[in-house]
Homo-oligomer: A and B are copies of this chain.
Amino acid sequence: MIPRYSRPEMVSIWAPETRFQIWFEIEAHALDAMAELGIVPKDAAAKVWDAHRNAPPFDIARIDAIEAETKHDVIAFLTHVSERTGPEARFLHQGMTSSDVLDTCLAVQLARAADILIADIDALLAVLKRRAFEHKLTPTIGRSHGIHAEPVTFGLKLAEAYAEFSRNRARLLSARADVATCAISGAVGTFANIDPRVEAYVAEKMGLTPEPVSTQVIPRDRHAMFFATLGVIASSIERLAIEVRHLQRTEVLEAEEYFSPGQKGSSAMPHKRNPVLTENLTGLARMVRGYVTPALENVALWHERDISHSSVERYIGPDATVTLDFALARLTGVVDKLLVYPERMMKNINRMGGLIHSQRVLLALTQAGASREDAYKLVQRNAMKVWESDGALSLEELLKADPDVTHYLSADEIADRFDLGYHLKHVDTIFGRVFGATS
């Protein structure tokens, strides 16, 4: 975790205090279940909960000190719990294995992290939708290969992003369900020393589903799928970030990241407004993607478990979720405040002197009776003049002045082929598909 790329709510999920609180809840709920089943004294569980509520917060330093001695994190925690909550603590953890606590805790943490990320996406979707409708009919040139193709609208670009992040939201819900499982099944998953009903009880209390079959651990294909999904979302972030970076290029300048009124670009150069937020997002996407492969390599644990996955998860659990949370929020801010320049968009549309409409004229000539070869020659010879003028000449005017062209098409018919509206007639259809509404 890099402080400048971290937000407190997500960071707090990974704080020792949170972890110990979750550990306690898992153990205490399990105790409740054991009391209900008559395995431990009825009042032991209640006493532990009471003592916990009246005790001071967990003493992290104290737990660390015990761990330094015992070299075992869960034992250190239980020892400290015993110090805090009295003799009934001895009933805690009976028949359980450390991984029951650790893995169920990780499930709670990842589920909470997913909830934040889902809320992040919801916030992003809201601003994408607002700005998409704002620019639903703002014409801008569509580009393939970085080269002008045909007109689209700026709202369509945002609608595409909206659709993409809607998919990512659904994927994240699936990924959340994948990791939100509870295992309280003992040393090798056989429930040898613990009743399966304890697991069911704890699962319900912690908002998880019971793991159908665990080894010593919850299987890691679940976590692999989770982190792979984060990698896909990061790649979608990169896509939109790169779109903004392109639009902000000096020569294009159709949109810009927000600059506050008093803000200086760079000393004396007013043009020096750099898309640093979206460049930063590009880098953050690389990191979140970089965590996918370690998560995939974690799946093939040996037999009923080895502990190679643990160090990986100590890194990527926080790093991937904190970074992605930050990135989603930053992207939302960028879209929310993005400076959009419709006039410049129109200027760029027109900068080729109308060449982007040449295909429609070609078609019209053919339909008017010209052979395809002739039509092509007629368009081409005028188009080349426009091209060589670097957009100073107008294709429409040249065509209107070319008698071989006007032989087939009237001036009005020619003008009609240069109508932007032609390209935008289905924008409503598409908005209806994406947003379920066209306004």
- The residues of A with any CB-CB pair to B shorter than 8 Å are 2, 4-5, 141-152, 156, 159-160, 163-164, 167-168, 171, 174, 178, 186-193, 196, 210, 212-216, 219, 221-222, 224-225, 228-229, 231-232, 234-236, 238-239, 241-243, 245-246, 248-252, 267-276, 279-280, 282-287, 289-294, 296-312, 314-316, 319, 348, 351-352, 355-356, 358-359, 361-363, 376, 379-380, 383-384, 387, 422-427, 429-430, 433-434
* Contact B146 A303, beta carbon cutoff 8 Å: yes
The interface residues of chain B lying within 8 Å CB-to-CB of A238 are 299-300
Closest to A305 in B: B144
How close is A430's CB to chain B, nearest CB, in angstroms? Answer: 5
* Contact A387 B246, beta carbon cutoff 8 Å: no
* Contact A303 B144, beta carbon cutoff 8 Å: yes
How close is A53's CB to chain B, nearest CB, in angstroms? Answer: 28
Q: A269-B358, A279-B308, A303-B246 are in contact. Are A232 and B239 (CB under 8 A)?
A: no
The interface residues of chain B lying within 8 Å CB-to-CB of A149 are 187-188, 216, 272, 304
Complex CA–CA separation, A187 to B275 (angstroms) = 17
Q: A148-B271, A268-B359 are in contact. Are A287 and B294 (CB under 8 A)?
A: yes
Closest to A286 in B: B294
* Contact A380 B251, beta carbon cutoff 8 Å: no
The interface residues of chain B lying within 8 Å CB-to-CB of A363 are 193
**SS of A interface (majority):** helix
How close is A81's CB to chain B, nearest CB, in angstroms? Answer: 17
Complex CA–CA separation, A146 to B254 (angstroms) = 13
Complex CA–CA separation, A305 to B248 (angstroms) = 15
The interface residues of chain B lying within 8 Å CB-to-CB of A196 are 426, 429
The interface residues of chain B lying within 8 Å CB-to-CB of A289 are 293-294, 296-297
Q: A225-B171, A430-B212 are in contact. Are A190 and B268 (CB under 8 A)?
A: no
* Contact A299 B236, beta carbon cutoff 8 Å: yes
* Contact B315 A2, beta carbon cutoff 8 Å: yes
The interface residues of chain B lying within 8 Å CB-to-CB of A304 are 142-144, 149, 152
Number of chain copies forming the complex: 4
How close is A356's CB to chain B, nearest CB, in angstroms? Answer: 7
* Contact A315 B307, beta carbon cutoff 8 Å: no
Complex CA–CA separation, A189 to B150 (angstroms) = 10
The interface residues of chain B lying within 8 Å CB-to-CB of A314 are 2, 4-5
Q: A216-B144, A359-B267 are in contact. Are A232 and B243 (CB under 8 A)?
A: no
Q: A232-B221, A269-B356, A289-B293 are in contact. Are A146 and B246 (CB under 8 A)?
A: yes
Closest to A318 in B: B2
Complex CA–CA separation, A32 to B213 (angstroms) = 52
Closest to A277 in B: B307
Closest to A291 in B: B290
The interface residues of chain B lying within 8 Å CB-to-CB of A250 are 141, 143, 146-148, 351-352
* Contact A426 B190, beta carbon cutoff 8 Å: yes
Q: A2-B314, A190-B423, A379-B268 are in contact. Are A145 and B178 (CB under 8 A)?
A: no
* Contact B286 A298, beta carbon cutoff 8 Å: yes
Complex CA–CA separation, A241 to B229 (angstroms) = 25
Closest to A365 in B: B268
The interface residues of chain B lying within 8 Å CB-to-CB of A267 are 359, 362, 376
The interface residues of chain B lying within 8 Å CB-to-CB of A297 are 235, 286, 289, 297
Q: A242-B302, A306-B146 are in contact. Are A189 and B152 (CB under 8 A)?
A: yes
Complex CA–CA separation, A9 to B269 (angstroms) = 42
Complex CA–CA separation, A348 to B253 (angstroms) = 13
Complex CA–CA separation, A196 to B149 (angstroms) = 20
